[in-house]
Chains A and B, each alone.
Chain A
Amino acid sequence: MDEGAEPTLVHLESVAYAYAEDVVLDQVTLGIDRRSLVGIVGPSGSGKTTLLKILGGVLDPIRGSRIAAAGMRIGYVPQVETVNWYFPVTVDEVVLMGSPERRIGIGYTKHERNRAHNLLHDLGIGHFEHRHIRELSGGQQQRVFIARALMADPDLVLLDEPMSGVDVKTRQDVLEILSDLTHQGVAVVLTTHDLNGVAAHLPYIVCVKGRVVAEGPPGETLVPSVLLETFGAEMELIEHEGHPIVIDKHPPTRSVGGR
Chain B
Amino acid sequence: MEVLLDPFRFEFFRNGLIVATISGGICALIGVYVVLRNMSYIGHGLSHAIFGGAVASFLVGINFYLGAGAWGFASALMVNRVARRRSIGADAAIGVITTASFAFGVALISRNAGFTRNFEAALFGNVLGVNRSDVIIVTVVAAAVAGILIALYRPMLFLTFDADVASVFGVPTARLDALFALLLAATVIATMQVLGVTLIAAALVIPPVVARMVTDRFRTMLAISVVVGVASGFVGMYLSFYLDIASGASIVLTQASVFVLVYIATSRGRSGRMRLAGVSSH
A binds B: yes
Contacting B at CB under 8 A, from A112-150, are 132
Contacting A at CB under 8 A, from B213-247, are 215-221
Interface contact A89-B161, CB-CB below 8 Å: yes
Bound together, the chains give a CA A104 to CA B168 distance in angstroms of 19
Please tell me which one of the listed residues A86, A93, A98, A105 contacts residue B278 in the complex, with CB atoms under 8 A apart: A86
Contact with A along B133-156 (1 / 0, CB 8 A): 000000000000000001111100
Give the number of chain B interface residues (Cβ < 8 Å): 34
Contact with B along A90-106 (1 / 0, CB 8 A): 10011001111011111
Interface contact B161-A74, CB-CB below 8 Å: no
Which residues does chain A contribute within 8 Å of B212, judged by CB atoms? 88
| Chain A residue nearest in CB terms to B211 | A88
Contacting B at CB under 8 A, from A168-220, are none
Interface contact A106-B153, CB-CB below 8 Å: yes
Name the distance in Å between A75's Cβ and chain B's nearest Cβ.
Answer: 8
| Chain A residue nearest in CB terms to B220 | A88
Which residues does chain B contribute within 8 Å of A108, judged by CB atoms? 154
Q: Is B36 among interface residues, defined by CB-CB distance under 8 A?
A: yes
| Chain A residue nearest in CB terms to B151 | A104
Name the distance in Å between B8's Cβ and chain A's nearest Cβ.
Answer: 34
Interface contact A97-B158, CB-CB below 8 Å: yes
Contact A88/B162 with A20-B87, A98-B169, A105-B153 known, Cβ cut-off 8 Å: no
Q: Is B164 among interface residues, defined by CB-CB distance under 8 A?
A: yes
Name the distance in Å between A99's Cβ and chain B's nearest Cβ.
Answer: 8
| Chain A residue nearest in CB terms to B212 | A88
Which residues does chain A contribute within 8 Å of B218, judged by CB atoms? 87-89, 93
Name the distance in Å between A131's Cβ and chain B's nearest Cβ.
Answer: 9
Name the distance in Å between B29's Cβ and chain A's nearest Cβ.
Answer: 12
Which residues does chain A contribute within 8 Å of B167, judged by CB atoms? 57-58
Q: Which of B150, B166, B212, B219 has the most CB of A within 10 A?
A: B219
Name the distance in Å between A74's Cβ and chain B's nearest Cβ.
Answer: 5
Name the distance in Å between A149's Cβ and chain B's nearest Cβ.
Answer: 9
Bound together, the chains give a CA A76 to CA B170 distance in angstroms of 11
Contacting B at CB under 8 A, from A55-81, are 56-58, 73-76, 78
Name the distance in Å between B171's Cβ and chain A's nearest Cβ.
Answer: 9
Which residues does chain B contribute within 8 Å of A98, judged by CB atoms? 169
Contact A103/B36 with A86-B274, A86-B277, A93-B217 known, Cβ cut-off 8 Å: no
Bound together, the chains give a CA A53 to CA B164 distance in angstroms of 9
Contact with A along B15-32 (1 / 0, CB 8 A): 000000000000000000
Contact A74/B169 with A86-B281, A105-B150 known, Cβ cut-off 8 Å: yes
Bound together, the chains give a CA A148 to CA B8 distance in angstroms of 53
Which residues does chain B contribute within 8 Å of A94, judged by CB atoms? 161
Contacting A at CB under 8 A, from B257-282, are 274-275, 277-279, 281-282
Interface contact A89-B153, CB-CB below 8 Å: no
Bound together, the chains give a CA A8 to CA B278 distance in angstroms of 42
Which residues does chain B contribute within 8 Å of A82, judged by CB atoms? 162, 164
Interface contact B217-A90, CB-CB below 8 Å: yes
Q: Is B157 among interface residues, defined by CB-CB distance under 8 A?
A: yes
Given A58-B168, A82-B162, 15 additional A-B pairs, CB 8 A:
A20-B87, A53-B164, A73-B170, A84-B281, A86-B274, A88-B217, A88-B275, A89-B216, A90-B216, A90-B217, A97-B158, A105-B151, A108-B154, A152-B169, A158-B168
Binding site for A on B (CB under 8 A): 36, 87, 150-154, 157-158, 160-162, 164-170, 212, 215-221, 274-275, 277-279, 281-282
11 contacts between A and B (CB under 8 A): A57-B168, A73-B170, A83-B162, A84-B162, A86-B281, A87-B278, A88-B221, A90-B216, A93-B157, A97-B161, A158-B168
Binding site for B on A (CB under 8 A): 20, 53, 56-58, 73-76, 78, 82-90, 93-94, 97-100, 102-108, 132, 152, 158
A-B pairs, 4 with minimum CB distance:
A86-B278, A76-B168, A84-B282, A132-B216
